[in-house]
Each structure stands twice: as C-alpha cells, then as structure tokens.
Structure 1
Amino acid sequence: MIGGSEIKVYFGIHKHMHQPYYDATDPDGWDGEKEAIFGSRVGNYTDFIPAAVQQYIDAGLPHAGLSTSWSGSVIEQLDRCAVEGLCSGRFSSWNGVLREMAGAKTRLGNPRIAFTAFGFFHPLMPLIPARDIVRQITWHRQLVRDAFGVKASNVLFPPETAFHVRMIPALVEAGVTAVIYDSIHRFRACRDYPYAGINEGMLPPNSSDQVNRPANDWVQLRNVWAGSKISPSLLSPEYVAYEDADGHLHKLIAIPAERYIGNEDARGGFGALHYPDVLGQVYDRIVETGSFDPAHPPFFLLHSDGDNHGGGADSYYKHNTGQLVRWLSEDPRFELTTIDDYLQRFPPDPAHAVHIEAGSWAGADNGDPQFMKWFSRYDQPYSPDLNSWALLTAFQNLVHTLEDSEPGHPQLTRAIRLLLTAETSCYWYWTGQDVWDRQVTNAVNRGYGLLKPAVERLVAAGLDRTGPTIFAPWVTPENPGGKRWRHGCLADAPRQGTAHTFVYDASGIKRVNLVVRTANGETALAMQDHGPYPCETGAELTARYYTVDLPVGVGDVRYYVEAEDHAGNVVRGTLERIALL
C-alpha cells in the first residue's frame, strides 16, 4: 500500500487480423496462396477469440476482455469464402460465434470483445490525406456492424501501429476518441530520454519532439528482448495534442501499446512471455520510485499481429490464456481490463495534453519517426516506394477533384474503391518485389482511365474547386546537425537539411512554398520543381517532386507546405516540427 491506495497495474490484450489484396484492381482475385493462407487461419477467424474471452468470464474476471482489429479486406474475403464455399467450406458461418460473444459485457457494461476502429484497406494513415483517413474508418465501421452485429469501438488501432499527431483532426472527425500507439514514441518525447544508441535501431530523437516532462523511473527490462529502457509511469492513457497551421488545437486520448512486452507476448502469450517476472519488474519499479498515481494507474496493451506468428496459434488463445487466468487469480498486483473499462474508471485529464513522437511498431524496421520502412531507397536515383507515393498523390487529387465538383459521377464509386485499395500499406512494406511495387501503379492507371475525361472537362470549364494535394513532407538528413546512419553506425549528420514533398493538381501547379515558423516570425521559401517523379512502372500520371533547402542553425521550428493551382485554389499542408541545429 502506498498513500492508502492499492498499487495495481492494468493491462489489456489486442489482436490484429488482416490480409491485403494481391491485386489492387480485382477485389475478387483468388489463388492457391490465398486458399492456403485462409485455410491455415480458420480458428483465428472463427472461435479462438471467443474461446479466450470465455475463459475470462468463467474465471470471474469482472473487467477482462480483449480488443481486436479486422481490416475490411479480411472481412470481405471471409464473407466471400462463406458464399462461394472456398477453403473447403470451413468459413460457412465464420462469424457466428464471434457475433454471439460480441454481446458479452464487463461489469461496467462495456463489450468483452471490442472491435476497434481501423482503416478499411490497412492504410498507413500518417501518409494519406485526412479525408481518406475519415473514409477508410467510416467504411470500416459499417462493415464491422454488418459482420459482427455491434458498433465498432471509438478506439482506433492504426495499421502498423503507425501514428503521427497530424492524424488527430481527421480521427476526431471520424468519431475516434482514443488511439493506440507504440509506447517507445512517448518515451522518446521526454526531455531526459535515455537514448540506447544502435541497440534501439532508431536515430536519437529529434529535439523538437522532446517537449514532455522528465521521468524518474526508467528501467531496463530483463528476461525479455528490450532495446531501450521504459518508464512505467508513462504507461497510461493521456491526452495528446496537435496544433495545425491555422493555430487550432486538436486533442484525443492516446493509449500505449508497450513495445517490448507486447512483442514478446506476440510470440505465444504466457508461454513465451513470463508475465509474473517481466510485468513484476514494472511493478517493482513503480514501488521503488513511488511513481504510482491511483487516479491514473499504469495501463498498457499487449499487442500482436493476431493471425501471424506465435500469437496466431490456438495455444495462445486456449492453453496460454488459461495460464494467464490462473496467474491473475493468485496475483493481486495486476488486473486484466478492457480499454473501455479502464477509461471509465480512470479517465485521463483533458487539461493535461502531451506530445508523442511519430512512428510505428518495432517490426517495421524498428518503427522510426520518419516511417522509412515505407520510404525504402529514398536516397537512390529511383525508389519504388517514392514512385508509388507520387502516383498515389496524383490519383488522390483526381478523385477528390471530381468528388468535390461532381459527387454523383457514375465512375466515382469505382474510382474511390481503387484509391482506398491503393493506399494499402503492404504495397510499400514489401519493396523490391515486383508484384507489390506495381500494385499502386495498376490501381492508378485503372482509376485514371475512369476519371480522365470528366476531370479534364471540369478543368476546361473552370469548375475545379479542389486545391493541390500535398504529400506529407519529409526531411533529409532526418536530424540536420544531429546524427545519421553511416555504414551501420551513428555518425554526425550535415547541418544542411532539405525538405521534400510531392504535389499534384488537375489544373496544374502555380506555386509551392515551404513556410518556416521561427521565434522571429514566418519565412516563405519557394520550393524547387524537379518535374514529375521518375517512374519505372508504366504509370500514366504522377505528382511533381519539390524540394527546398532549410535554414541552418535556427533551432526548433514549425513548417508547412502551401500550394496554389492555376484555378486559384490554395491549400496549406499539415504543420510539422523539426530542430535545425
């Protein structure tokens, strides 16, 4: 007991299910590989999750449950299996048990199974436009209700656990009240973060991100792979804030998925992760430092790629869950709870908002804040990833242009589906495999053929109401004047930084500026137009590539891209931050 309050650490379990399309232009595509993949995951997609939750209920755990995210892609394909008898008919009523268990409630009346908000086609949300984020989530919500008979949660599990604060306005618009993120990006945003060097697999945090108060309880976990120290006091939901280019503040709740403990749990649950030992280290550190806050006790998710690796085996949901339940019945230090029950019992303070560094989960090349897993070969003359982002930027603009001016156009529905499918993150994740590198191109070419006549007619008639589409800018080197990778080691980075972006507009681009905000005011820098990004995949349209050198040595700055088309439409991009040393 400390301060008259029982010290208890709360945690939840999140399972993720997805399977992307192999042909971005054909939602009905099916082959032997897909047959084998789905055939090996029957339990994952039918009764494993209900079996685990039933053990929580039988054990009398009042707040226990789990959250699970299902992409729209996997639900559609499971429905197709049921209708067409694919996979030997083993999915004929695949969602029956899930629908039954979806009605189970915790003591507080919240779902034992929470179907989290998600992006329909598994997009990398930090790198797509806000309106597409909203649509991906909205489409997904409707399909969850159709498939499971319940409302999707207001908590978002972003694909790849990829989060950037610039997503917040779109998430709020889509009805999301809380987002799950990888815990290391909260730790790295502290002023005193004990950077672990090359073991961490990421560059040192950019000092512009390190704005949160210091922590006093850093601990190096033992008996589990952990590349850096963690702070138990930071493992609780809290509000995170983002200020846009117009000065408006946007906030929502952020929930940490603990990077190292979750990664180990994903290998097989209790059988892989020694819960009493590893979680006990978190508990002991809280006691040792006196950092326990009874109003906001530590809470974190054990998250996994639920239909893959050890976390996809039946032993995870059955035998190992049984061990977890038995341990919890004997150890009062910990409690398994759903996200909703925790937030209802221990709501975070909306008056206290923090900053979180951008990034994704450890499995994406350690999840760096620049999302370089999706920028492979960015420093080479040609990058398949950059090619796909440039194509997608152009296609997004065409779709949005037609939607704004002629929302009832008969080809628009097909084009929107092609666009959202082309945003699937896997088309960048597997760089170097031609079947993946060409998927965005295939979708863009098909969609361009559908929209080209209508968009050209709108532009000729002066009816273009849509401003340029601006791809989220990135900076090289990642930390100007700080550190960079060189031959696998940390080395000093050049002080000169360069900002990059793609821009496209159906009416053509009149100007593109990068606006830099410092303590002395704003400076607009004209960005250099390098023309269309070079393409090696036969794309029929692509965005233009722009760069500009950033001022050297001006410290912590904010910046955004502003673009104007020849129709007079002006757009401001998202407000970014960086330290220029």
Structure 2
Amino acid sequence: MPIHHALVLNFHQPPNNLDDLLETNPWEVKEILFAMDRMPRALWGYEDVARVHLSMSGTLLETLSSPEFQEKVYGVVKVGDLLWQLQNTRLFEILGTGYYHPVLPLIPKEDWQEQLSRWRGLAQHLFWREDFGGFWPPEMGFTEELIPLLKRMGYRYVLVDDVYLEPAEGEMSWPELRYRPHVAEFGGEEIIVIPRERELSNAQLSGMDPDWFENEVKERTKFCDFEPLVTTASDGDNGGWFRNYTEESNFWHAFYQPFLNKARLTGEVMPTYIEDYITKHGVGGKVKVKKGAWNTEMHYGDDFTQWTGTQEQKDALARIHEISDALHFVKSQRKDSSPRNPEHVDYHFGEAYWRLLRAETSCNLYWGKAWVQKVHDDLDASCAELDNARRGF
C-alpha cells in the first residue's frame, strides 16, 4: 500500500531581527531570504506531486510584508513576489500559528486568543484566504487546554510531537500511534492531532539522502495495516542544509527534487497534504497528549527547560504573568465602567497590550541572558502605557 508523507517547515524571525541583522550581518539575511525564495523556485514544474506545509510566524510575515524592508533587500530577493508565490495552493499549505511565536503553555491563557487572532488577521490579508485548516503550535509547545480555543477558531487539526502521545483507551501499536491521525479531547471539544515523527524530523533538519529516507519510512511502517501518514517537521531556514545555496548540497535539490522524481515514478512514498489525507482516510482512535515542546539541540522538550531553565528565564516569565494580570484587570474595568475618556483608555491599552504580546516571544527566553532583557524592555513599555490608560478612567 502507498505511504503518505507530509512535509512541514517552520519559519520564524523575532521582531525586527532581520532589520537588525542587515546592519550587523547582512550575509545572514541573504542566506535566510535565499532559503525561503528557493522553495517556490525549486518546486516549479512539480505542482503535480510536491506538497509542502508552511508555518510562518506573524513577526516574520510582518517584516516580509513591510514596504521599507522590501526596499532594503531589493536586488537580493523580491520579497513581494515571494509572498505571492507562496499563495500557490498546489504547492503550499499555510498553517496557522501565533503572531509573536510564544511557547503557548508558558504564557498566560488569557493571551492565547490574541496571539492567534492577530496572526490570522495578517495571514488572511497576505495569503488571500479566510480559513486555515491546520495549526502549528510555536516551538510545538502544546497542551490539551488549547483544544477548545483551536476549535472555536476553526482549526481542524493540530501538529504535536509523537513522543507525547499515548492511547486514551485500549492499546495501540507503535506504528499506529505515530503514523495516523488521532483525536484528542479537552473540555468537551475534540480536535484531530497529527503526530510529528521526531527521529525522521531530526534527519530532515540535519540532512538526509532520498533513498535512505524512503527505505527508513518503509521499514518503520511495514507492520501498518492501514495507509500510513509519516509527518516530518523542522525549521526551514536554519542550518547549512537549508541555507546552502549550492544545489548539490541543500534540501531542495539534493533531497526533495530526487524524492519527488521517484514518487512520480513508483508512487510508493507519496507527498500529501494532511487535509487531503484526513478527508480520504479518516482518523484513528482517541489519544492523550502530554504537555511538552519539540526537541532543540540537546533539550528533550518535555520540561520546557530551553525557556525556563535559568533564574533569569523564570523571573521574566513570572513578570509576564504579573503584567498580563494587571492588563486584563484594566480590560475588565473598561468593560464594566464608563471611563471619562474612553478613546484615551482604548488607545493606551492597545499600546500596552501589543508590547506585552511581543515580550512573550519565545526567542527572548530561549537565548537566555543575551535576550531576556528584551522581555523586560517591552514589559516596562507596557507598564508605562497601562499607567497612561488608567488616567482615562
């Protein structure tokens, strides 16, 4: 029986990072932009078989859609053309995510909806569509408590790391648990969960041979009594495998094009959109998904130590929750009272809120001492705006 492969690539740049790099390391900006621009160029002529899922953070899309940034990199990559090419639904499926790329289980629940809604507002405009079927949790940081919100926002499925899955009832074989969609439930709401194959995803990030990949996939799924879905997900612009501009040495030309050519020829391992697989083959049983994130470098991800391992990180997270509580208290005051100057309150509250959301960016915590001050800078600005908002009551 055929084996179905879902390719997922994650793209994220922190707020203003590409603009800053243009001043300090312009060649790195070129590598990043080339890695993105290479995708549609490598796939021209493969519309019949290529299928790529893309997650692009709101802060990255904000930069790419900025006329000022596009002018700065004119002559390197035509970013406007790139965004237009990514609208090609025969090649690309855009996944929903969070605007400022927060690790959602670590930030206040009250901020989840705003992170997701702001991303949708920008993505709907850039990609000319109303709905996005799948959701990519930033850093694959997932908790089942997200399920009701994802359902309200119209998502059909969410990607999770396979190491956190366990059967909710009965037993499942090792390949059944990893190579078919399942259903998870929380608070009376259900959503389809798509397991990310962690080990093959590691190979995708570091570099792999198409024949090795096909043989490995066949070996791992040989005991399946259903048509398996193998989902590999990694960053799409980090590491030499994706940034290398030499065709013989990068993901698209050394791996994906030969893989597509063989898929055309044999049909044994076929690229697919997750949405199409679900529609045709349905889902398996019910599962539980333990809270966790994907693996980065030497970190497993189950304890979020990449973002919470030091006292500086813990202090920054605690302050995020503190300021968020204060902000939502003012929001409830605005709803339950009639301020003297409502326009003043609303303006400064909005200014305070987006700075809080930006403080929640995962990179601010991940890079520890080098970046954690960015959290406090944004929170300081948020507090100042919140004080201005209070003066309007």
TM exceeds 0.5?
A: yes
Alignment-derived partner of residue 239 in structure 1? 183
Question: 2:123 aligns to what SS in structure 1?
Answer: helix
Question: 1:390 aligns to what SS in structure 2?
Answer: helix
Q: 2:332 aligns with which of 398, 404, 410?
A: 404
Q: 2:2 aligns with which of 4, 8, 16?
A: 8
Q: CA deviation at 1:235?
A: 1.6
RMSD across aligned positions (CA):
2.6
Q: CA deviation at 1:8?
A: 2.2
Alignment of 1:337-416 (within 5 A): 337-348=272-283, 352-363=285-296, 365-377=298-310, 383-406=311-334, 409-416=346-353
The one-letter amino acid of 2:358's match is T
Q: 1:17 aligns with which of 11, 23, 34?
A: 11
TM-score by length of 2: 0.87
Alignment-derived partner of residue 311 in structure 1? 242
Larger relative CO (CA 8 A, sep 6+): 1 or 2?
A: 2
Q: CA deviation at 1:16?
A: 1.1
The one-letter amino acid of 1:44's match is A
**Aligned sequence identity (%):** 20
Structure 1 residue 51 and structure 2 residue 48: aligned?
no
Contact 1:13/1:67 (<8 A) preserved: yes
Contact 1:412/1:451 (<8 A) preserved: yes
The structure with the largest strand share of the pair is 1
Instruction: Single out whichever of 151-160 and 439-448 deviates more from structure 2.
Output: 151-160
Question: 2:387 aligns to what SS in structure 1?
Answer: helix
How many residue pairs were aligned?
379
Q: 2:380 aligns with which of 445, 462, 470?
A: 445
Alignment of 1:430-509 (within 5 A): 430-433=367-370, 436-455=371-390
Alignment partners' CA distance in 2, 1:416 and 1:328? 48
Contact 1:155/1:178 (<8 A) preserved: yes
Alignment partners' CA distance in 1, 2:150 and 2:297? 23
TM-score by length of 1: 0.60
Alignment-derived partner of residue 340 in structure 2? none
Alignment partners' CA distance in 1, 2:260 and 2:381? 51
| Cα 1:275–1:258 shift into 2, 3 Å | same
The structure with the largest helix share of the pair is 2
Q: 1:322 aligns with which of 257, 260, 263?
A: 257
Alignment deviations for residues 476-503 of structure 1 (CA, whole Å, 9 cap, x no partner): xxxxxxxxxxxxxxxxxxxxxxxxxxxx
Alignment-derived partner of residue 338 in structure 2? none
Structure of greater Rg: 1
The one-letter amino acid of 1:368's match is G
Alignment deviations for residues 124-149 of structure 1 (CA, whole Å, 9 cap, x no partner): 01122334222111111121233233
The one-letter amino acid of 1:322's match is Q
The one-letter amino acid of 1:102's match is Q
Alignment-derived partner of residue 339 in structure 2? none
Question: 2:185 aligns to what SS in structure 1?
Answer: strand
Alignment-derived partner of residue 117 in structure 2? 138
Alignment partners' CA distance in 1, 2:75 and 2:327? 38
Alignment-derived partner of residue 251 in structure 1? 190
Alignment-derived partner of residue 268 in structure 1? 207
Structure 1 residue 158 and structure 2 residue 137: aligned?
yes
Q: CA deviation at 1:75?
A: 1.7
Alignment-derived partner of residue 171 in structure 2? 214
Alignment partners' CA distance in 1, 2:276 and 2:85? 20
Q: 2:358 aligns with which of 415, 421, 430?
A: 421
Contact 2:98/2:115 (<8 A) preserved: yes
Alignment deviations for residues 328-369 of structure 1 (CA, whole Å, 9 cap, x no partner): 1343432210111111112226xx421011211121644332
Alignment-derived partner of residue 66 in structure 1? 52
Alignment partners' CA distance in 2, 1:97 and 1:87? 13
Structure 1 residue 94 and structure 2 residue 76: aligned?
no
What 5-or-longer segments of structure 1 have no aligned partner? 1-6, 106-111, 191-210, 219-230, 243-247, 378-382, 459-581
| Cα 1:84–1:324 shift into 2, 3 Å | closer
Contact 2:70/2:79 (<8 A) preserved: no
Alignment partners' CA distance in 2, 1:269 and 1:327? 15
Contact 1:236/1:255 (<8 A) preserved: yes
Alignment-derived partner of residue 217 in structure 2? 279
Alignment-derived partner of residue 298 in structure 1? 228
| Cα 1:53–1:336 shift into 2, 3 Å | same
Q: CA deviation at 1:22?
A: 6.2
Alignment partners' CA distance in 2, 1:143 and 1:22? 17
Alignment partners' CA distance in 2, 1:402 and 1:31? 39
Q: CA deviation at 1:239?
A: 0.8
| Cα 1:8–1:121 shift into 2, 3 Å | same
| Cα 1:78–1:457 shift into 2, 3 Å | closer
Q: 2:95 aligns with which of 105, 108, 116?
A: 116
Alignment partners' CA distance in 1, 2:70 and 2:39? 24
Q: 1:40 aligns with which of 11, 15, 31?
A: 31
Contact 1:257/1:301 (<8 A) preserved: yes
| Cα 1:233–1:126 shift into 2, 3 Å | closer
Alignment deviations for residues 406-434 of structure 1 (CA, whole Å, 9 cap, x no partner): 2652212211110110110111111232x
Q: CA deviation at 1:33?
A: 3.3
Q: CA deviation at 1:299?
A: 0.9
| Cα 1:101–1:80 shift into 2, 3 Å | closer
Contact 1:239/1:253 (<8 A) preserved: yes
Q: CA deviation at 1:155?
A: 0.6
The one-letter amino acid of 1:86's match is K
Alignment partners' CA distance in 2, 1:317 and 1:81? 28
Alignment deviations for residues 175-222 of structure 1 (CA, whole Å, 9 cap, x no partner): 222111111111xx35xxxxxxxxxxxxxxxxxxxx554344x4xxxx
| Cα 1:36–1:81 shift into 2, 3 Å | farther
Q: CA deviation at 1:385?
A: 1.0
